[in-house]
Amino acid sequence: MGYYKDDRSFTNYVHNNLAIPKIYETLGWNILEIDKDRLEYIDINLGIDYVLKNQNGTIKNIQERFRDSFYQKYNDATLRYRRDKNSDPSRMKSEFFKIKADYLVYGITNGKKFIDKRHTLTDFIKWVILDLNYLKEKYENKELEIVTTKKITCEIFNQKLICPENFNPDGSSSFIPFDILMLNKLWGDKVIIAQNRYF
């Protein structure tokens, strides 16, 4: 649980100190105040971290994922896929299956995630916002496929995006890496709502 708390602490820090001023405010998106219990419920059950409203009053349900500078060499955005070792069968299928968020906000920070290094987190190296509903539509139409393979990166084949299921080293869960350049090549701004320094 300590690892999860550290991870959550890092994400909360980046949300408050980087995402709000450097992403949401520049887009004119405002965080809505929501009851703490309700926010916890939609986080656990729907994969929604925050609810925002844009200047036109449109509601945007957001899932955030942030990484420290160690991950800057990767040109993808990841989403948890399965937790096969979870003792609760209802939680084996992870965010990819349950998520009801409209957008994934994914960012690589310029510092380290450790609590004693938080002062190094001053900006994003790059960030992207993906339309999850569009990705789900492509998955359901079999234009996006998740495969078990030795490859760890996506590829485009016959105008389809083929993405691997990658496993974390500790075996706790797997994740899908969505290659941002490939998403852009196939579907452009239909799936990439906004980005900075991914391309």
DSSP-assigned states of every residue in 156-192 = EETTEEEEE-EE-TTSS-EEEEEEHHHHHHHHGGGTE
Does residue 171 belong to any structural domain of this protein? no
* Residue 13 belongs to some domain of the structure: yes
* Alpha-carbon gap, residue 94 to 175, rounded angstroms: 9
Q: How many domains does the chain have?
A: 1
pLDDT tens for the chain, 199 residues long, are 445 566 889 999 999 999 999 999 999 999 999 999 999 999 988 999 999 999 999 999 999 999 999 999 999 999 988 765 555 555 555 567 678 999 999 999 999 999 999 999 999 999 999 999 999 999 999 999 999 888 999 999 999 999 999 988 877 788 999 999 999 999 999 999 999 999 9
**DSSP codes, 55-120:** TT--EEEEEEEEE-GGGTT--EEEEE-B-TT-SSGGGSB-HHHH---SEEEEEEESS--SGGGGGG
Q: Residue 104's closest CA among 74, 79, 71, 72?
A: 79
In a domain, residue 178? The reply is no
Asked whether residue 29 is assigned to any structural domain, the reply reads yes
Q: Which residues of 120-144 are buried (b: 16+ CB within 10 A; e: fewer)?
A: ebeebbbbbbbbbebbeebbeeeeb
Q: Which residues pair with 157 in a beta bridge?
A: 160
> Could you tell me the pTM of the whole model?
0.91
pLDDT at 67: 97
Q: Among 54, 198, 52, which residue's Cα sits nearest to residue 128? A: 198
Query: Residue 14 domain-assigned?
Result: yes
Domain span at residue 70 reads 2-131+189-196
10: enclosing H helix or E strand: helix 2-14
Evaluate whether residue 149 is within a structural domain.
no
- Determine phi and psi for 99, rounding to 5 degrees: -65, 130
β-strand 155-157 against 103-109: which pairing, if any?
unpaired
Q: 142 lies in a domain? A: no
> Is 9 inside any structural domain?
yes
Q: What is the pLDDT of residue 169?
A: 84
